Amino acid sequence: MKDSTCPECGVPIGKYHVPGCDAEICPFCNNQLISCDCCYEQLGLIDMNKYPDTDGLPPDIFKNGLTDKHEKEWDKLLKEKGLIPYDPTTALEYDDDPYSTIILTDKHD
């Protein structure tokens, strides 16, 4: 029964994750939502020619993240696209699971 709720934010299967949940999947790229760059791409913020030193982002956004206005726009885009509710069968596989890391670190082959 371990997976009947999201291990990160605790919502049950079929419910949307709490915003900012580590386990939430991006509907645009199917990767971890909080670590993908879709928000910048979808909001049209990336311009590699203009900002080559900050991954194509305007320096203030690179430094401070999205503004409230951008966050709202991104939220709207996500909802239009369709957020992905928690489902253990499509859950992200973590490479950085703290328990498996400990086991791997302690193993001497």
Tokens of 70: 């951008």
CB of 96 to Zn ion, least distance (A): 16
CB of 55 to Zn ion, least distance (A): 15
What does the alpha-carbon distance between residue 101 and residue 79 come to, in Å, rounded to a whole number? 35
What does the alpha-carbon distance between residue 105 and residue 66 come to, in Å, rounded to a whole number? 36
Residue from 3, 13, 19, 29 in contact with Zn ion (CB under 5 A): 29
Residue from 5, 15, 32, 36 in contact with Zn ion (CB under 5 A): 36
Residue from 34, 38, 46, 91 in contact with Zn ion (CB under 5 A): 38
Residue from 5, 15, 16, 28 in contact with Zn ion (CB under 5 A): 28
Nearer to Zn ion, 35 or 105 (CB): 35
Q: Which amino acid is at 105?
A: T
Of 44, 71, 67, nearest to 56 by C-alpha is 44
Q: Which amino acid is at 61?
A: I
C-alpha of 35 from chain center? 4
Q: Which residues form the interface with Zn ion (CB under 5 A)? A: 6, 8-9, 17, 21, 23, 26, 28-29, 36, 38
